[in-house]
Homo-oligomer: A and B are copies of this chain.
Amino acid sequence: MAAERRRATIYDVAQAAGVSKSLVSLVLRGSPSVSTPRRAAVLAAIKELDYRPSQAATALAGGTSQTVGVVIDDYTNTWFVELLRGLQEGLASAGLRIAVSDRSLNTHIESDPLDGFLSTRVEALVLATEPTEAMRFSSQIPVIIAGNRATEVPGADITSSDDRLGARRAIEHLISLGHTQIGHIAGGGGASMQRIAGYQDAMKAAGLTERIVTVSELTTEDIGYQCTRQLLDEAPETTAILAGNDSMAMGAMGAAQEAGLLVPKDLSIIGYDNSPLSDTHLLQLTTVDSRNHALGLHAAEQVLSRLADPERTAQRVLLEPLLIERSTCAPVRNA
């Protein structure tokens, strides 16, 4: 049976192509110093034998895994999708692949996703989540932080979007629509902190009363719903809400619906992230684009430059966020 046949190795390819093992290795690694006919012979043998280099052997012998580990929070919040795409695009040219691990799946098995990545000997670590203690001090490999995080990682590069500015602009937009009773529902973590600060900046500058509701570190749809219920309960005069992210904004829309409030007629809502969710026909959520694709591209660049020069000092890239106006904001009713 075909399935029982031993897998082809580099020896089999060399033999089939009538060349030396070393030459096969050269072809695999794309060396230019191989004559065209020989290269063709090797390629033909590879195809014929359905040969695939063993990643384990390549990594072990070459001393490099050629993979970058990416840690995300939770597959359910899809903001990371564009970040991944950017990362992959930026890394592909260098022959680096990506391995993704999420924290919420890993909480069940007690382990830190870092453990697996360290065993894999990833070349670098991209953190699209709040760093764990272990991640902060792993120091064995370059760390690149994607997004704003509450915890510092000594020596790490950072690519983030200016969440503080983005939140400020969102509030300024609401103010320009005549809103004065503007609440903010927030979760925990570095991005949340920045967005809260931006909210405060804008409210302070306009002399408006701040109202921030937080019920959990999480930033899920359900938490957004709960925060909004509490906000509307405490301050029914609220006419606009900035949510900590798009998931929370969706929760806010749910709470508004339940309270019989129309969005945006009775209540304006702004999300954050410009996630796939925000661009659905049902939501048409006005949001702040944190430019996750660009974030991924820049993080990839940092990975590459850090790999090229491990001694270079830590870099910091800050992207300018964009307000995306869709359909969940309107002028205040009795303005």
Chain A residues close to B by CB (< 8 Å): 2-3, 7, 50, 52-57, 59-60, 65, 75-76, 78, 80-81, 84-85, 88-89, 92, 97, 99-100, 105, 108-109, 115-116, 118-121, 139-140, 221-222, 225, 250-251, 253-255, 257-258, 276, 280-284, 310
Contact = CB atoms under 8 A, between A and B. Distances in A.
A100 B65 CA distance: 17
B121 A108 contact: no
Nearest to A247: B280
Contacts of A108: 85, 88-89, 92
Given A3-B140, A85-B108, A281 B310 contact: no
| Chain A interface SS verdict (over half) | helix
7 contacts: A54-B60, A60-B60, A75-B81, A76-B81, A99-B99, A221-B280, A225-B281
Contacts of A65: 56
Contacts of A109: 88, 92
A140 B140 CA distance: 36
A258 B180 CA distance: 29
B55 A121 contact: yes
Nearest to A75: B81
